[in-house]
Amino acid sequence: MDVISAIQASIESAKKLRELSKKLQDAEFSMALADLNNSLADAKLEAAGLKEQLAAQKELNLQLSEKLAQRETGKPVCEDGSYVFEGESGNFCTGCWDAKGMKIRLTEEKGAFRAFGKWSCPSCQQCFGQ
């Protein structure tokens, strides 16, 4: 039984006690019962909020675990100043991968720009392969 179900069962029990209090006509008992009902309702709302937070944290944990697994299994090899990943064609920016974890494919330089390097990163403009 989860927390919300337990609180719901407690609320049902409190409702039964409220019915009994009507028969007893005891004001002090009725006030205590009303306080109990309010406390249980607050606890139910808090438990629902915590359940949502837990689900969000589990989702974030899963995303981070997947990202970590990708970084661990997709380790690059450095060739000619740029990264090459197994199973992927082309060269990738070392700066973008190391700093941001982003695989940015390098573009080949043409014409006069070739003097700066074979490739450049379209994201950070770093040149590679001189």
Residues 63 and 83 in one domain: no
Residues 68 and 83 in one domain: no
Residues 7 and 65 in one domain: yes
Q: What is the pLDDT of residues 19-54, one digit of tens each?
A: 777 777 777 777 777 888 888 888 888 888 999 999
State whether the Cα torsion 11-15-21-26 is positive or negative.
positive
Residue 84 domain boundaries: 77-128
Contact 118, 109 (CB under 8 A): yes
Residue 17: the pLDDT is: 78
Q: How much is the average pLDDT of 94-99?
A: 90
Residues 67 and 84 in one domain: no
Q: Report the 3 state secondary structure along 30-53.
A: HHHHHHHHHHHHHHHHHHHHHHHH
The torsion angles phi and psi of 109, rounded to 5 degrees, stand at -80, 145
Higher pLDDT, 65 or 116: 65
Write the single-letter amino acid at 19: E
What is the helix (H) or strand (E) element at residue 125, kind and residue range?
Answer: none
Confidence bin at 115 (pLDDT 50/70/90): low
Q: C-alpha distances in angstroms, 18 versus 13, 36, 42, 97, 119?
A: 9, 10, 18, 64, 78
Beta-carbon contacts of residue 88 (< 8 Å; ≥ 6 apart): 103
Residue 113 confidence (pLDDT) above 70: no
Confidence bin at 87 (pLDDT 50/70/90): confident
Residues 30 and 46 in one domain: yes
pTM of the model: 0.46
The torsion angles phi and psi of 75, rounded to 5 degrees, stand at -70, 135
Q: Name the domain count of the chain.
A: 2
Residues 57 and 82 in one domain: no
Which residue from 75, 86, 124 is spatially nearest to 104, judged by alpha carbons?
124
